[in-house]
Amino acid sequence: MSSDQDHLQETDTEARFEFKKEQNAAVKSDKGLTEEVIRMISEDKDEPDWMLERRLRALKQYQNMPMPTDWPGQPDLSELDIEEIVPYIRPDVDKREGVDDWTELPDEIKDTFDKLGIPEAEKNALSGVGAQYESEVVYQNMQEQWEEKGVIFMNMDRAVQEHPELVKEHFMTSCVPPSDNKFAALHGAVWSGGSFVYVPEGVTVEMPVQAYFRMNSEGMGQFEHTLIIAEEGAEVHYIEGCSAPKYGTHNLHSGGVEVFVGEDAHVQYSTVQNWSKNTFNLNTKRAIVEANGTMEWVSGSMGSKATMLYPCSILKGRGATDTHITIAFAGEGQDIDTGAKVYHNAPDTSSTIESKSISKDGGRTNYRGLVHIADGAENSSTAVECDALMFDNESTSDTMPYMEIEESKVDVAHEATVGKIGDEDIFYLQSRGLDDDDAKKMIVAGFIEPITEELPIEYAVELNRLIELEMEGSLG
């Protein structure tokens, strides 16, 4: 591909995410967190009393918990003022239901997702699509063949109304309770939108389902909740994409993800995040895995001012397995603190964590992980591999693995490498006809290949384009 074509492609990719739309909101809350704001959100959603009660309990927990400040080397959150964040904006679409026909969306919302490529992806590679704009899911659709097999894919607000028993049992109870951390409590108080996925026993959803989350408004918070339940022997791949335009004030993304993996079930959860560099990205994601179940986390974190994200799996049943593959990219002014947590609570469980990070222009990446093997979880095994690539002497990359091993009959391995792009590697590729920029791009593409080969082709291409865009201007 010529350099002109490269430039056009990167410019088009940047334009897809950086555009802004005039806000056309039906309902907008006041800034900050008060009981009045929580009640307004719940009333606007026509929620049952039990959900309002859970929100108010979470609010009290949030108010009584300190901001996290005591982790060594954690991102600086001092610029984040929750009282200046607008927690709820409902766009001018039918609340709760959204639409299932793309052409029925308001023009400004439809144009947003058209530019992000969502309709095309739905036609080509997906079993179902949900699209969230600000605080609400505005579009939801599932192919009939999966609905006929009992698969449920709908937004969380609708699930509260139509599947209350399933939601009551699983929503922020055993997996991610509000007491887990301050931002989980914040999420429990103001959550809005997100996805509910239920796959019945023995059903394999052969094509991925996707949700795309877009923050369009300045100074807002997005708090979508994703709840996935895969019954015994079920299989599903869920993909989420995230983006926001850049503004002069800070935005906050504090989503919550709960995954329940039944016996012999298999869930893959893939994320490609491209938040703007004024966004604080502070999520809580966790899975509970039953006997012989498999959980896979695939994460690409490109944007945000600061990210604190550590997907967690609790291996509850004998023979449960867990895999984490993550890639983080930090440029100027970015602090990307990501990792993984795994709790081996049963015998014969296994986990693999593979972390890749790239930093440039003074950016910082950090792997922060925890592997806990409980007493009695014999014959369990874990392997952790952390690789960091830096473009310059100003950038930093740290590795902070924690191992808590309470059982002697286990297999534990950890490996970490940190380095700059090597002159010898660049020279070798230049001797094969590549210029300096293309040589560095090829090295980075090879470095992140373990994650791209786990994604559908459209997402793998997207991830590579985003990284090339981030590298633009830093090469040579």
User: pLDDT averaged over consecutive 10-residue blocks of the chain (476 residues)?
Assistant: 44 44 63 92 95 98 89 90 87 55 56 52 46 52 74 92 97 97 96 93 88 71 93 94 66 94 96 82 96 94 88 98 92 93 98 91 92 98 92 86 95 83 70 75 73 65 64 45
Name the 3-class secondary structure at 363: coil
What span, in angstroms and rounded, lies between the C-alpha atoms of 247 and 245? Answer: 7
Closest CA to 471 of 307, 283, 332, 324: 332
> 279 near 248, Cβ under 8 Å?
no
Which amino acid makes up residue 203? V
The DSSP result for 374-390, as a single string, is -TT-TTEEEEEEEEEEE
Tokens of 288: 């509970």
Which SS3 state, helix, strand or coil, does residue 277 take? coil
| Predicted pLDDT at 118 | 47
Query: Dihedrals φ, ψ of 155, to 5°?
Result: -75, 155
Q: Where are the beta strands (DSSP E) in 303-395?
A: 306-309, 312-315, 321-330, 335-344, 350-359, 364-373, 380-390
Give the whole-angstrom CA distance, residue 74 versus residue 87. 24
d(CA 392, CA 474): 9
- CA 82, 86, 87, 88: dihedral to nearest 10 degrees? 180
pLDDT at residue 142, as a whole number: 56
Helix (H) or strand (E) holding 183: helix 182-190
Q: Who contacts 269 (Cβ-Cβ below 8 Å, separation ≥6)?
A: 228, 238, 240, 257, 259, 285, 287, 295, 296, 297, 298, 311
Res 361: pLDDT: 87
